[in-house]
Amino acid sequence: MSKYVDVIIAGFGGQGVMLIGNLLAYAAMEQGLNVTYIPVYGPEMRGGTANCTVVIGEEEIGSPIIFNPLSLIAMNRPSLDKFQPRVQDNGVLILNSSLVEPSLAEKNRLKAYAIPVNELADKLGNLRLANMVALGAYVQATGIVPLQAVKNALPNVISSHYAHLIPDNAKALQTGYDYAQNQGTV
Amino acid sequence: MTKRMFVKGNEAVCWGALAAQCKCYFGYPITPQNDIPEFMSKELPKRGGVFVQAESEIAAANMLLGAVASGVRAMTSSSSPGISLKQEAISYMAGSELPGVIVNMNRGGPGLGDIGPSQGDYFQATKGGGHGDYRLLVLAPGTVQEAYDLTIEAFNLAFKYRNPVMILGDAILGQMKEPITPKDPVIDDSEVHNWCLDGAQNRPSRIIKSLYLEDGALAAHNLKLAKKYEQMAQEEVRFEEFLTNDAELIVVAYGSIGRIVKTTIRKLRQAGHKVGLLRPISLFPFPKEILLSLAKAGKKFLTIEHNLGQMVEDVQLAICKFATTDFYGHLPGNLPTPNDFEQPILNSLEK
């Protein structure tokens, strides 16, 4: 079976879900994989979630839009409520346990990780790094691309205005990765 | 290997235009294609080109007409309501045999509709759109790489035929990102100086016009245009065939819907269903011959569109001697997913 994963990344507007979607996609491209990224657009944006879908695979990619994803990064409760039921059995769930009760994870059905991304980001000194913590955890949970590839892609998706924050973002990716490895599973 | 770039469909159109040596862009903002004017406003002036945000879509389309009359490669872009406003100038470009490139990132309609994806402009794009007996060459990319490649083609074809060419995408293609591999196409504009308006120094003056009042002149002009459309039908048909050989059912779908259906087909294939895809890439000229040969081979057909049934008429016309096509229309206002097409395909298979 050739390498393939798709993910819905969802949260409040402002949590940086589009940025980590772009980052993951860019890293996958640099690994020589096929990839699509699509921000959700139009009426779906109403109702508490901003979201994007990233599809990564060795084979040519058909649909960039996925109803039943293999994985989900849920940064808030409305995102979990909306998308968790759609995740395929044995799929991966990264749940922001800073904002969402971990017991809500369908852990009998999914490989679920509860990551307190806000607290972990706060400890790093910048709450806005929460998205990177979540992506680091996702990369550990799925192994779809090496963490270093994601770090290497940072300068390509973070505007030059914020280039000084790249080391902090790399640190946040590592923090999420380590947390998922050591204590993240629900 | 050239380094891949990770860009939106809208941006890929722009990179394609730059690679095709587009020198002028004229536009007026409308969602979901604003990345195009944004990009061109930054990049064209750097390359010695001209970007104009016009006072309206009508003005932008007429600026395009003027620019290409001087032999310069130029384009405009918009989305559905804005494309309607451009139709007068598009008809004039067809009548005057001018090679304008027009990009339509189709959104919901009629009227202002919504800002989401739709294929509601198929008729407008392929059946004229403006007044008079003319055709556009219409190319419908399904991937971001195709948006890039076909934009380059659009410029070359516009100049080859001296006819306006439309790129017909939608809000999905415009907004999604995919890697593209850039190219360095060879541009041959040696013919341009035989017809363009460049000052008439040391040659007789020329008139570029669409008005033919003399007895028989318009008929002759219309026949000349018709010959070009015939030549397009001979030389410019483009399509993708996917798993059609052993298929019992051929799904016909273009653009974003075509690629989304491909995922559905892969899934149904895993469950043993013999389904294939024919994805028209040129909508005019329409890939009639391949459809006819598939119909002769005894296939069943299902046309899927993001509208309530437009291309299905061309499919039916192409296969009418041997088969009929089912139709499934995805409504605007909903992002289509591969799941949406499973049951309709299974229903058609069982018939």
| CATH code of residue B66 | 3.40.50.970
Nearest Cβ partner for B4 among A29, A43, A44: A29
Tokens in use for A154? 């940072």
In whole numbers, what is the pLDDT of chain A averaged over residues? 94
Q: Do B335 and A36 touch (CB under 8 A)?
A: no
Would B211 be classed as within a structural domain?
A: no
CA-to-CA distance for A86 and B96, rounded, in angstroms?
54
Whether B254 and B230 share a structural domain: no
Would B336 be classed as within a structural domain?
A: yes
Q: Which of B190, B210, B235 is the last residue of a domain?
A: B235
What ipTM was reported for this prediction?
A: 0.95
> Which residues in chain B touch residue A61, judged by CB atoms under 8 angstroms apart?
178, 259
The whole-number pLDDT of residue A184 equals 72
Whether B9 and B158 share a structural domain: yes
Would B213 be classed as within a structural domain?
A: no
Whether B83 and B185 share a structural domain: yes
Q: Are A33 and A60 in contact (CB under 8 A)?
A: no
pLDDT digits (tens, 9 = 90+) for A17-49: 999 999 999 999 999 999 999 998 544 455 557
pLDDT digits (tens, 9 = 90+) for A120-176: 999 999 999 999 999 999 999 999 999 999 999 999 999 999 999 999 999 999 999
CA B187-B196-B166 angle, to 5 degrees, is 60
Whether B188 and B310 share a structural domain: no
Listed residue (A54, A57, A83) closest to A68, CA to CA: A83
Domain around B121: 5-198+223-235
CA-to-CA distance for A72 and A53, rounded, in angstroms?
9
Listed residue (B307, B303, B305) closest to B294, CA to CA: B303
Q: What 3-state DSSP class applies to B147? A: helix
Would B215 be classed as within a structural domain?
A: no
Please give the full DSSP string across B58-77, using - where no structure is assigned.
Answer: HHHHHHHHHHHHTT--EEEE
CA-to-CA distance for B305 and B328, rounded, in angstroms?
7
Q: How far is A185 from chain B (nearest CA, A)?
A: 30
The whole-number pLDDT of residue A42 equals 47
Would B117 be classed as within a structural domain?
A: yes
All domains of chain A, ordered by start, with CATH? 4-183 (3.40.920.10)
Whether B252 and B118 share a structural domain: no
The whole-number pLDDT of residue B1 equals 59
pLDDT digits (tens, 9 = 90+) for B231-273: 999 999 999 999 999 999 999 999 999 999 999 999 999 999 9
Would B122 be classed as within a structural domain?
A: yes
Read off the pLDDT of each residue in B45-61 and give the average, rounded to a whole number.
97
Whether B113 and B258 share a structural domain: no
CA-to-CA distance for A138 and A18, rounded, in angstroms?
15
pLDDT digits (tens, 9 = 90+) for B112-156: 999 999 999 999 999 989 999 999 999 999 999 999 999 999 999
Whether B231 and B277 share a structural domain: no
CA-to-CA distance for A154 and A163, rounded, in angstroms?
9
| CATH code of residue B274 | 3.40.50.920
Other CB atoms closer than 10 Å to residue A89's CB: what's the count? 10
Whether B76 and B149 share a structural domain: yes
The whole-number pLDDT of residue B194 equals 95
Name the pLDDT band for A1 (thresholds 50, 70, 90): low
More confidently predicted of A49 and B105 = B105
Q: Best-predicted range by mean pLDDT among A37-41, B319-323, B332-336?
A: B319-323
3-state secondary structure chain A: CCCEEEEEEEECCCCCHHHHHHHHHHHHHHCCCEEEEEECCHHHHCCCCEEEEEEEECCCCCCCCCCCCCEEEECCHHHHHHHHHHCCCCCEEEEECCCCCHHHCCCCCCEEEEECHHHHHHHCCCHHHHHHHHHHHHHHHHCCCCHHHHHHHHHHHCCHHHHHHHHHHHHHHHHHHHHHHHHCEC
> Which residues in chain A touch residue B12, judged by CB atoms under 8 angstroms apart?
none
Listed residue (A32, A74, A28) closest to A54, CA to CA: A28
The answer to whether residue B179 neighbours chain A at the CB level (below 8 Å) is yes
Whether B103 and B119 share a structural domain: yes
Nearest Cβ partner for B116 among A35, A42, A67: A42
Would B216 be classed as within a structural domain?
A: no
pLDDT at A76 over 60: yes
Which residue in the block uniquely carries the two structure tokens 């860019």?
Answer: A26
CA-to-CA distance for A134 and A130, rounded, in angstroms?
6
Whether B156 and B247 share a structural domain: no
Whether B331 and B250 share a structural domain: yes
The whole-number pLDDT of residue A2 equals 86
The answer to whether residue A149 neighbours chain B at the CB level (below 8 Å) is no
Q: What 3-state DSSP class applies to B312? A: helix
Q: Do A38 and B175 touch (CB under 8 A)?
A: yes
Contacts of B293 (CB under 8 A, 6+ apart): none
Contacts of A15 (CB under 8 A, 6+ apart): A50, A75, A76, A130, A131
The whole-number pLDDT of residue B80 equals 98
Number of domains in chain B: 2
The answer to whether residue B4 neighbours chain A at the CB level (below 8 Å) is yes
pLDDT at B314 over 80: yes
CA-to-CA distance for A63 and B227, rounded, in angstroms?
38
Query: Residue type at B300?
Result: K
The enclosing H or E element of B6 equals strand B5-8
Whether B17 and B147 share a structural domain: yes
The whole-number pLDDT of residue A46 equals 53
Please give the full DSSP string across B247-307, using - where no structure is assigned.
Answer: -SEEEE--HHHHHHHHHHHHHHHHTT--EEEEEESEEES--HHHHHHHHHTT-EEEEEESS
CA-to-CA distance for A84 and A54, rounded, in angstroms?
16
CA-to-CA distance for B235 and B163, rounded, in angstroms?
15
In whole numbers, what is the pLDDT of chain B averaged over residues? 97
Q: What 3-state DSSP class applies to B165? A: strand
